[in-house]
């Protein structure tokens, strides 16, 4: 009756989800406060009500927690990319929407104004984790899609996706270092750069 939308009813399942969530939340806070490198598993677990051993029922290491956080972020970001792809009227529009979405995401995700810079908090911000790879694939598919529709010239989509991601990450980081960060200006810069770049590319494949 009261559990109309109870996705999990067992007390065990609820506790499990709650514990995992508590650890993730604590980790996010601890990483932001003292930095990923210096943070210890104990620091994280102290941020919860659980005992040290319990940590290892959920994650194998500090690194795995970080990856889980990155996965979360990527999972939340993917819909933004997909929406950009589906609602865009042309290639230029797609790029602009995707970049703007990413930069807004960056602003929204950084721990409320304080916290350490992303660079310090993200030690190995590479396309390692599965969900990270999924974002890369989403970008690449978006580009291939545009090419298939004749909206962009046929080029090496692997290089192109990597180029767009690397460029966006660094311009995004530069944007965050300015105060106040200007999403519009940064997005316009990155988007126009990419569009111009794509059009100048050697047409392969």
Partner DNA sequence: GCCGTTTCGTGACGGCGTGTCAACTTTGCG
Partner DNA sequence: CGCAAAGTTGACACGCCGTCACGAAACGGC
- Confirm or reject binding of residue 153 to its own copies (CB under 8 A): no
Select from 144, 186, 153 the least CA-distant residue to 169: 186
Least distance (Å) from DNA to the CB of residue 120?
Answer: 17
Compute CA distances 203 → 32, 154, 194, 195, whole Å.
44, 5, 15, 14
- Confirm or reject binding of residue 52 to DNA (CB under 7 A): yes
Q: What's the chain's length in residues?
A: 205
Q: Contact, 69 vs 47, CB < 8 A?
A: no
- Confirm or reject binding of residue 159 to its own copies (CB under 8 A): yes
Q: Which residue has the tokens 């009756």?
A: 1
Number of residues that bind DNA (CB under 7 A): 22
Dihedral, CA atoms, 22, 64, 107, 115, nearest 10 degrees? 70
Question: Which of 6, 13, 21, 86 forms a contact with DNA (CB under 7 A)?
Answer: 13
Question: Which of 62, 85, 96, 97 forms a contact with DNA (CB under 7 A)?
Answer: 62
- Confirm or reject binding of residue 51 to DNA (CB under 7 A): yes
**In 50-156, which ranges are continuous DSSP H helix?**
52-58, 62-87, 91-109, 118-121, 130-148
- Confirm or reject binding of residue 50 to DNA (CB under 7 A): yes
Tokens for 64, please give them: 């795995």
Binding mask 32-51 for its own copies (x = CB under 8 A): -----x--------------
Least distance (Å) from DNA to the CB of residue 67?
Answer: 14
Quote the CA–CA distance of 154 and 101 in Å, as a whole number. Answer: 25
- Confirm or reject binding of residue 174 to its own copies (CB under 8 A): yes
- Confirm or reject binding of residue 123 to DNA (CB under 7 A): no
- Confirm or reject binding of residue 119 to its own copies (CB under 8 A): yes
Sign, CA torsion 196/199/203/205: positive
Least distance (Å) from DNA to the CB of residue 121?
Answer: 16
Residue ranges that bind DNA, judged by CB under 7 A: 10-13, 15-16, 19, 40-43, 49-54, 56-57, 60-62
Residue ranges that bind its own copies, judged by CB under 8 A: 37, 63, 119-120, 122-124, 126-128, 155-156, 158-160, 162-163, 165-171, 173-175, 186, 188-190, 192-202
């Amino acid at each position: 009756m009261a559990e109309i939308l109870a996705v999990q009813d067992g007390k065990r399942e609820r506790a499990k989800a709650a514990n995992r969530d508590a650890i993730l939340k604590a980790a996010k806070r601890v990483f932001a406060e003292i930095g990923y490198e210096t943070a210890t598993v104990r620091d994280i677990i102290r941020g919860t009500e659980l005992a040290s051993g319990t940590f290892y029922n959920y994650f194998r290491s500090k690194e795995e927690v970080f990856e889980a956080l990155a996965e979360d972020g990527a999972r939340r970001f993917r819909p933004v990319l997909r929406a950009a792809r589906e609602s865009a009227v042309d290639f230029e529009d797609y790029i602009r929407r995707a970049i703007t979405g990413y930069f807004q995401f960056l602003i929204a995700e950084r721990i409320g104004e304080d916290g350490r810079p992303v660079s310090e908090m993200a030690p190995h911000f590479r396309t390692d984790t599965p969900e990270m790879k999924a974002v890369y694939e989403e970008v690449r598919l978006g580009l291939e899609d545009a090419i298939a529709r004749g909206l962009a010239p046929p080029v090496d989509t692997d290089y192109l996706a990597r180029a767009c991601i690397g460029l966006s990450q660094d311009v995004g980081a530069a944007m965050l270092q300015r105060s106040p960060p200007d999403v519009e200006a940064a997005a316009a810069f990155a988007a126009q750069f990419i569009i111009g770049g794509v059009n100048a590319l050697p047409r392969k494949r």
